[in-house]
Amino acid sequence: MALDFQKIEQKWQKAWEKDKIFEPSADKKKKKFFFTVPYPYVSGPLHVGHGRTYSVGDFIVRYKRKLGYNVLWPIAFHLSGMPVLAISKMIESGDKHGIQLYKEYVSLYEKDKKKVDKIVKSFSDPWNVANYFASVISQDFKAVGLSIDWTREFNTGEKIYNKFIQWQFHKLMDAGVLVKGSHAVTFDTDEKNPVGEDDIRDGDVDKVRVVDYTAIRFSLDKKDLVAATLRPETIFGVTNLWVNPSANYIEAKKGTYTMIISEQAFEKLHYQNAGYEKVRVWKGRDLVDLEVKSPVGKKVTILPADFVDPDAGTGVVYSVPAHAPYDYIALMDLQKKNAKYSKIKPIVIIDIEKYRGKIPAEEACKKFKVKNQNDTAALDKATAELYKDEFYSGALNRLCGRFSRIKISNVKDSVKNMLKNDGKAFVFYDTSRPAVTRAGSKVVIAVLKDQWFIDYSSEKWKDQVRNLLKKMKIFPEKYRKQFLDTVDWVEKRPCVRKRGLGTEFPFEKGWVIESLSDSTIYMIFYLIASHIRKEKIPDKDLTPEFFDYVCLGKGKPKNSAWKKIRDDVDYWYPNDQRHTAPAHLSNHLTFYLFHHTKMFPEKYWPVMISFNEMLTGREGIKMSKSRGNVIPLVDIPRKYGADLYRLYVLSSNDIQSTADWREADVTNAKTKLQKLADELSHVGKAQKAKTLSDTDKWIVSKFYSRLRAAKDHADNFRLREYCVELFFEMLKDLDYYKRRVPEKQFYSTLRTFVEDWLITLEPVIPHLCEEAWHNLGNKSYVSLESWPKIKETAIDAEIESREGFVQKTIADVRQVLKLVGKPARKIYLYTIPPELKMYKDSESFLSQEFSADVKVFAVNDPKKVDPQNKSSKAKPGKPGIYVE
């Protein structure tokens, strides 16, 4: 009979909570393990992709408990910034699409339509949004069996948290890293606020960077047509300009100066260099064939190109066909259509030994077999290779005047500065990709004045972080370089905004600390928040002196409550492992390292950061709301069951790989899980075997061999291999062993090691393991049991090898039968003498396995039946086979 997994899961979740088994206290006799995963944002329900990270996290902490660690895994909820406020504003304004979306979200948890309507209506208050989704996310986490200590929960809008963050900013001010000035930032055009990754749609997985274009002025009849480039050093090789003939271009004037840029660029310019007025609108086609003068004195023609994106840069592109495959192939395509442009020839300005005497872009296009300008895949490859060759091996040639012979890797800034100093260029900022906020507002780059920043540019500070990274454990190791690269380029980052939820900036009224800046050291607040509540410490007493003492040990305690908190912090901190997805690396996690090195003594610096990739697809198609293929986390325990979900997400892919939800694979895992449950339901009635045959010793040996391998997998975060080893492969072993011996013998032998098996399966499928553990008569929780000792004396390589030969022979016979295409009546096996007993002892089993009469002979047996001399084929561990 199939078990009611949902009932079993709820039973043990209630028991864990009732007995507070995941609520540890400081115990100096035990080695501690303080584990965190970034807190979830409370703007809506989570889905199975989020659940993968938390399930991996739960495996890690459950495994650590088994190794004897005193484990703490707390959680909190993030509501700072604009998203929650934007939802509230959307509901309040009566946005039909937004209201319908949030009714769908709430309906995942509430079945009463009137209640759904009432809850969504209440979302006009942002606190109701935050509180509602924090509560249901908590339920979802509990329902998939996460072993979290919920007593330390908080959210980032609480006054106690605000006091903590204000203390953090006082420390940053004292350290001299809070500065005020002008800087280019990502900006919400509706809310008139700087925005970070958390505010931008998909900003956590597809980061939006500030792109620093060099906008170069080309003279056109007392005005400038402005082209944006990322490679100003190639200005010497310009042969023409490209404009999109279908796009609108704005002639804009400020004072006596006039320039022409795309309509989209003109809109962005307002946020970077205000004061320009629209004079005239040009169609791109009206600019085509006009002649302009480049900053280096050449006259070049404006040509049409549909590939020019008017929303990228200035919407005007200068063409260097000798060194840019896209420009080269576009020029060739245009010349084929119109012979009047055939006089335009590529100008080679970069010497590279590899392309000596040739046009580099032409050679790259030939190599990658570029067909035309629509062949973007080949063009991208050609561009990447050529730009790499030029950067590392190229130098400007004699056509480039005073810059000749200077390597490309060194010359970019020099040319850019020359053009700017000569008044021929300026900086134009753009986003690295088109972006909108979570609320749908357009995101542009704005240059803000009197903006507050955290200045990460100090080399001394960067060196501290680099030294920390040398000592830290990072898994996978490949991400260490990405951390170091991020440390190299990070400079100033805006840390406040005019609107949004969060903590009031302590140094200037009207500013709120932004959402990434308030989430860099909060891990230590897990060790403080619950004590503040328990000891009923009033807000007025949460002074800088209080946080200096409890966080840093500076000063003296005012009372026993302070001392109690300090002791807890000193026991649990630092954060031993922070686990998340790679999208957080270049922002949150990098700031996490910076702020810890600036604010805390070295003994409190982070110890380890680990990553898993996300579960992003369903049946090979990326999950998205628009496709309707997102699986909400709340549906998991209802439709699949917590243990099945955990088993699937931990075993389907290595954690270093992105995962995909495939129903066929889930169904297969469900079948295996039910099979395990069936076997466990019988084993409790069996008595442990007192004596073991060689076949019994084989299954015991296989288990402890697999257990030894599994521990190595767990220690090295090979969670998929762990699941395959201890669950899937072990079930195969048991299935074979069950066919090999009488049923009573099967269960009595299984009873000798089943408890060790349950203990080690618990990090993957804890609910089923708790149920079976107690059915065996145990009173303790399997979740708290120690990792079993590997019984080395039970591991017998010779027995495993011998039984492996029998299994291999079964596979060989099946292959022969498949070729024959008929069921066998008799099967004869011919083996070399030293192996005879092993196969002789297996005759009845093999006969049963093939529903045929199986006879085993030694190859030198004169009485053997061998009409086709198959005995001559016998080798060690591989008998000759004859089928009749």
Contact in structure between 359 and 422 (CB atoms under 8 Å): no
Q: How confident is the model at residue 622 (pLDDT cuts 50, 70, 90)?
A: confident
The pair of structure tokens assigned to 313 is: 């840069």
Q: What is the pLDDT averaged over residues 251-258?
A: 96
Residue 520 has pLDDT above 70, yes or no: yes
Counting Cα atoms < 13 Å in the Cβ hemisphere of 371 gives 4
**Shared-domain flag, residues 719 and 838:** no
> Scanning the structure block, which residue is given the tokens 């009463």?
112
pLDDT class of 357 with cuts at 50, 70, 90: confident
What confidence tier does 812 reach under pLDDT thresholds 50, 70, 90?
A: very high
> To the nearest whole number, what is the mean pLDDT of the chain?
94
pTM of the model: 0.84
pLDDT band at residue 200 using 50, 70 and 90 as cut-offs: confident
Residues 304 and 272 in one domain: yes
**Residue 530 and residue 734: Cα distance in Å, rounded?**
47
Q: Last residue of a domain, which of 795, 830, 851?
A: 795
Q: What is the pLDDT of residues 13-40, one digit of tens each?
A: 999 999 999 999 999 999 999 999 999 9
What would the two tokens of residue 488 be?
A: 């190299």
Say yes or no to pLDDT of 291 above 80.
yes
Separation between Cα atoms, residue 710 and residue 726, nearest integer Å? 7
Question: Is residue 246 situated within a structural domain?
Answer: yes
| pLDDT score of 625 more than 80 | no
pLDDT band per the 50, 70, 90 thresholds, residue 825: very high
User: pLDDT digits over 415-441, tens only?
Assistant: 999 999 999 999 999 999 999 988 788
What CA–CA distance (Å, rounded) separates 468 from 83? 33
What is the number of structural domains in the chain? Answer: 3
Percent of the chain with pLDDT over 90: 88
Whole-number Å distance between alpha carbons of 588 and 38? 9
> Quick one: 346 and 284 in the same domain?
yes
Strand partners, 351: 395
Based on the fold, state whether residues 343 and 400 are members of the same structural domain.
yes
Of 495, 608, 598, whose CA–CA distance to 552 is shortest? 598
Q: Report residue 832's pLDDT band, with 50, 70 and 90 as the boundaries.
A: very high
pLDDT-derived band at 617, boundaries 50, 70, 90? confident
Q: What pLDDT is recorded for position 615?
A: 87
Q: Report how far residue 614's alpha carbon sits from residue 624's, in angstroms, rounded to the nearest whole number.
A: 14
pLDDT > 60? residue 1: no
For the segment 577-592, the average pLDDT, to the nearest whole number, is 94
**pLDDT score, position 2:** 67
306 and 344 in a single domain? The answer is yes
Same domain, 740 and 825: no
Here the CATH number for the domain that contains residue 384 is: 3.90.740.10
Edge-to-edge, what's the strand order for the sheet holding 193-194?
193-194, 178-188, 443-455, 492-494
* Rounded average pLDDT over 643-651: 97
Same domain, 777 and 871: no
Is residue 859 located within the same domain as residue 735? no
The reported pLDDT for the residue numbered 379 is 95
> Distance between CA atoms of 254 and 580, rounded to whole angstroms?
49
Q: Is residue 694 situated within a structural domain?
A: yes
In this predicted model, what pLDDT tens digit does every residue of 754-790 receive, in sequence order? 999 999 999 999 999 999 999 999 999 999 999 999 9
Given a cut of 90, is residue 448 above it in pLDDT? no
Residue 616 has pLDDT above 90, yes or no: no
| Residue 335 belongs to some domain of the structure | yes
Task: Judge whether residue 77 has pLDDT over 90.
Answer: yes
The boundaries of the domain holding residue 260 are: 210-431
Residue 724: which CATH number?
Answer: 1.10.730.10
For the chain, report the end-to-end CA distance as a whole number of angstroms: 41
Residue 832 domain-assigned? yes
Q: Are 499 and 76 in contact (CB under 8 A)?
A: no
Look up residue 544 and give its two tokens. Answer: 């800088």
Q: Residue 487's pLDDT is what?
A: 96
Shared domain check, 327 and 244 = yes
- Higher-pLDDT residue of 305 and 625 is 305
Predicted confidence at residue 415, as pLDDT, reads: 95
Residues 791 and 824 in one domain: no
